[in-house]
Amino acid sequence: MMSGKSKQIVRYAMAASLVAALTFVCYHLRPIISETDVIMIFLVGTVATAVWTGRGPAVLYSLLCVSAFNYFFIEPLFQFNVYNPSYWLTFAVMFLASIVISTLTTKLNTQVQLAENRERETHTLYQLLTALNAAKTTEEMVEALSQYLRILAGGTVRIVLAGSIIEIPIAISSTSLPIVGSQRTIGYVEFDVALPASGDRKKVLETCIALFASMMEGAEKARQAEQSKIWAETEKTRNILLSSISHDLRSPLAAISGSAETLLEKLPQDPLLMSIQQESRRLARIVSNLLDITRMEGGQIRLNMMAYDPAEIIGSAVAACRESLRQHKLSLNVEKDLPFVRMDGLLTSQLMQNLLENASRHTPANTGIELKAYLREGSFCIAVSDNGPGIPAGSEKNIFNKFVSLPSEGKPKGVGLGLAICQAIALAHQGRIYAQNRAEGGCRFVVEFPQSLTLQQAQEPAHG
Amino acid sequence: MVNKARIVIVEDEREISRFLEAALEAQAYNVETVSSGREALKLTSAQPPDVIILDLGLPDTDGKEVIRKLREWSRVPIIVLSARDQEQEKVEALELGADDYLTKPFGTHELLARINVALRHATRREQPAEMTYSYKELAIDLARRKTILRGSEIHLTPTEYDLISLLARKSGQVVTHGELLKEVWGRNAEQNDHYLRIYIQRLRQKISDDPLRPEYIFTEPGIGYRLSESK
């Protein structure tokens, strides 16, 4: 293979030889052709030189052909001086025409070359795109890319992809290119030949790799979308099932507990009746919770937002749990003069009831439970603290998941919906809920409503 | 126990109506059960009962429609039964003229208490002479517009008095936000629930009722307020 420099020398030599050849032919045809014809023939040669050899050799050609014309065709022959000075003008025009022609031709030539290159690149990219599209797995996509890079770069390539989690250290050397996605670098390509530092060829390689990266990301996104669609479908089916079962269970359970209660009027303290009543109530509560959570998760929850004095909602929640808190000491610690807060009163009351009942279920009798309500940086917060065993380390987050229930001593295990409902209610208000163990023992559940729900201190209504 | 009041249960679910019948008959009430809105209207127009217990989820007509039709000609107390996920329905039923509501599942004690309140209100309506409210240390003289706490009169603004007298007239029964706003502030005030909270807060302060542990004014979140029943 020839280096660029020697190629260039050959081109100059070609230009020079063309001048020699044309001079030779014209010299021998002199009796038939005039000086003007010689000029025309030399100018045609200019076009040929410009097309085949490029700008530099074409300039050399122009110089040489003017010299040859002077030397071989103008009196005195075989000398560079002329008798008739008007020929100097002829030379100048001839040189200028030659330069202009060669300039225009090389420009055109370059344009054609560029267009052809672009078309080839586009074609290659299109083929790569088709191949990547047809690929069903990551392996097939990698194979398609390496095939085209091989064609484009010459030599073999090695494609290294980062795992989904591990960040690979990428050494950018002269023989490798990174595969950069929109979020992060997903791998690199290593070539066994040195890459051009810049220029069109490198750009094509980079474009191929960028195309591959975006296709990889697209495929990944599609996979995730598919997965979440399947998940959502499953969840929906499960919710429909839960909801219809719960509906069917609700009436018989209400009838069982109601009947037991009525019978207890006649047979007070009958242990079997009492157990029927308690257990059917427990079941009824589970069923209501199931219905609530499916309703909330099904997006059917429409908040009935109104301004409330937080104290009155706390009051209603505490009154509703009086029965389940009978064996605990509840202390209420509500900040004085809390501003009104916009919320769904019924759901917020239910949230507090669930937290209080949860605390009473997981802590021994006669221990204290504290409900605190306060403002923090303008956000209304509720905290329920207990003095029980606390939350096992690592469970602080997943206790809010559906059907996660921690065992509590001596009491039937819950179904694990109470806290999930709390979370759904907090989230529906754009608030948040979290659990933490307290340094002094027990745990604390904190609910924070967004600051935007806290109303400015009420202004005076217009009339008394 | 002799208790001649006649109660009509409108409930399509047989399990529920059967235990309601048993519970009410145990209290010597006279009970009849129908399972549709149409039958309910027919039965009540033939012979008006003392109380109607109406399930909002009926198969043939909307329970609210039954209330609307009944209220065209009858003031018979109506207690509505509803599921927990029908908050809005409850409010609408109350504003159409239902007297009270119970959320399923409910205990029989709760049901009997509501029936008693409803019956007492119905009798009171027939004897308008009874114009005082009194519970624990709070007394309201509805004829002379006076509010007395622990024996001494407390000063209420006209709006505050309007509020508490409305609650007192329906003591023991829930009064919806909408009703309170409309009665006290007029037809166009229904969006101003904020005002209502402010006045309730002040009323509570004046009658020294702690919203955390209320004795007189009870909050029913999402529905309205209930004043303890006059004794």
Most confident of A260-269, A412-421, B195-204: B195-204
Average pLDDT over residues B200-227: 93
Structure tokens at A203: 């750009």
- Residue A74's pLDDT is 83
Q: Is A315 close to B219, i.e. CB distance below 8 A? A: yes
Scanning every residue of chain A, which has its alpha carbon at the shortest distance from the alpha carbon of B160? A464
Q: What percent of chain B has pLDDT over 90?
A: 47
Q: Which residue has the higher pLDDT, B156 or A47?
A: B156
Check if A367 contacts B (Cβ < 8 Å): no
pLDDT band at A410 (very low <50, low <70, confident <90, very high): low
Q: Beta strands B217-220 and B174-176: pairing type?
A: unpaired
Q: Which of chain A's residues have a Cβ under 8 Å away from the Cβ of B213?
A: 315, 318, 332
Which residue, chain included where needed, has tokens 């007395």? B148
> How high does pLDDT run on average in chain B?
88
How near does any CA of chain B get to the CA of A240, in Å?
16
The pLDDT tens digits of the residues spanning B77-113 come to 999 988 766 778 889 999 999 999 998 878 888 899 9
Mode of pairing for the β-strands spanning B6-10 and A443-448: unpaired
A340 close contact with B: CB closer than 8 A: yes
Q: Token pair of A246, please?
A: 């719960």
Cα dist from B61 to B40, B82, B84, B96, whole Å: 11, 15, 20, 15
Give the contacts of A269 (CB within 8 A, at least 6 positions apart): none
pLDDT band at A165 (very low <50, low <70, confident <90, very high): very low
Residue A409: the pLDDT is: 60
What lies within 8 Å, CB to CB, of B21 at 6+ separation is B9, B31, B33
Q: CA nearest B225 in A: which residue? A: A312
Whether A298 and chain B come into contact, CB under 8 Å, resolves to: no
Q: In a 3-state reduction of DSSP, which class is residue A327?
A: coil
d(C-alpha A330, C-alpha A437), whole Å: 19
- pLDDT for A201 beyond 90: no
CB contact under 8 A, B212 and A318: yes
Express as a percent the part of chain A with pLDDT over 70: 92
Q: Picking from A163-167, A348-352, B43-47, which range would have the lowest pLDDT averaged per residue?
A: A163-167
| B59 has a pLDDT exceeding 50 | yes
B158 contact residues in A (CB cutoff 8 A): 464
CB B124 within 8 A of CB B100: no
Q: B87–A304: do the CB atoms touch at under 8 Å?
A: yes
Backbone angles phi and psi of B30, in degrees to 5:
-95, 110
Is the CB of residue A391 less than 8 Å from the CB of residue A435?
Answer: yes
Give φ, ψ of B116 to 5 degrees: -60, -45
Could you give the CA distance from residue B159 to residue A45 in angstroms, rounded to a whole number? 109
Mean pLDDT of all residues in chain A? 84
Label residue A44 by pLDDT band (50, 70, 90).
confident
Which among B228, B177, B16, B218 is positioned nearest to A253, based on CA atoms? B16
pTM over 0.80, yes/no: no
Residue from the list B104, B106, B221 with its beta carbon closest to the beta carbon of A316: B221
Query: Does residue A308 sit at the B interface (CB-CB below 8 Å)?
Result: yes
Average pLDDT, integer, range A325-337: 92
DSSP A232: H
pLDDT-based confidence at residue B13 (cuts at 50, 70, 90): confident
Judged by a CB distance cut-off of 8 A, whether residue A305 touches chain B is: no
Q: What is the pLDDT of residue B160?
A: 93
- Min Cα distance A229 → chain B (Å) is 28
| Nearest-10 crossing angle of helices A310-320, A345-362 | 50
Q: Give B15→chain A minimum CA distance, Å.
A: 5
User: pLDDT-based confidence at A169, cuts 50/70/90?
Assistant: very low
Asked whether the beta carbons of residue A309 and residue B197 sit closer than 8 angstroms, the reply is yes
Tokens 């007070």 found at: A268
Pair of tokens at residue A367: 């221990």
Q: Is A353 on the interface with B (CB under 8 A)?
A: no
- Give the minimum alpha-carbon distance from B78 to chain A in angstroms, rounded to a whole number: 20
Q: Which has the closest alpha carbon to A332: A312, A358, A302?
A: A312
Q: Are strands B30-34 and B6-10 parallel, antiparallel or unpaired?
A: parallel
Average pLDDT estimate for A152-165:
71
Task: Give me the pLDDT at residue A35, please.
Answer: 82
- For A95-145, the pLDDT digits (tens) are 888 888 888 888 888 898 889 888 888 888 888 888 888 888 888 888 888
pLDDT at A184 > cutoff 80? no
Q: What is the mean pLDDT of residues A182-201?
A: 75
Residue A166: pLDDT band (50, 70, 90) is very low
| Count of A-B CB contacts under 8 Å | 123
Q: Measure in Å the smallest separation between the Cα of A303 and chain B Cα atoms.
A: 10
Phi first, then psi, for residue A341 (nearest 5°) are -130, 135
If one compares A312 and B189, the residue with the highest pLDDT of the two is A312
Please name every residue paired with B80 in a beta bridge, in sequence order, or none if there are none: B54, B101
Q: Quote the ipTM score.
A: 0.88
- Give dist(CA A104, CA A227) in Å, integer: 60
Residues of B in contact with A257 (CB under 8 A): 105, 107
CB B100 within 8 A of CB B174: yes
Q: pLDDT category, A198, cuts 50, 70, 90?
A: low
Q: Where are the alpha helices (DSSP H) in A74-183?
A: 86-134, 138-153
pLDDT of residue A413: 64
Contact A308 B221 (CB under 8 A): yes
* Residue A380 pLDDT > 90: yes
| Antiparallel, parallel or unpaired: β B217-220 and B51-55 | unpaired
Q: Which helix (H) or strand (E) holds A200?
A: helix A200-266
So what's the pLDDT on residue B190? 67
Each residue of A66-80: pLDDT tens digit? 888 888 888 888 888
Q: How far is CA B171 from the centre of its chain?
A: 8
Return the residue in B85, B112, B194 with the most chain A beta carbons within 10 A, the one to mutate for interface testing: B194
What is the predicted pLDDT for the residue at B84? 67
Task: With a cut of 80, say whether residue A362 has pLDDT above it.
Answer: yes
Question: Taking CB atoms and an 8 Å limit, are A464 and B159 in contact across chains?
Answer: yes
Q: Do B16 and A332 touch (CB under 8 A)?
A: no
Give the pLDDT score at A374: 95
Tokens standing for residue B122: 């119905």
DSSP string, B142-195: TTTTEEEETTEE----HHHHHHHHHHHHTTTSEEEHHHHHHHHH-GGGTT-HHH
Cα(A205)–Cα(A248) distance, integer angstroms: 65
Average pLDDT over residues B221-225: 92
Q: Which of A207-216, A338-347, B83-92 has the lowest mean pLDDT?
A: B83-92
Confidence check: pLDDT of A200 > 80: no
Quick check: A412 pLDDT over 70? no
> What is the per-residue pLDDT for A382?
96
> What pLDDT sits at residue A143?
85
Residue B32 burial class via C-beta count within 10 angstroms: exposed 0-12, middle 13-18, buried 19 and up: middle
Report the C-alpha dihedral over residues A213, A219, A223, A228, rounded to 10 degrees: 80
Report the residue of A242, A250, A262 to disrupt the B interface, i.e. the one with the largest count of B CBs within 10 Å.
A262
Phi and psi torsions of B133, nearest 5°: -115, 140
Write out pLDDT tens, residues A416-443: 888 999 999 999 999 999 999 998 889 9
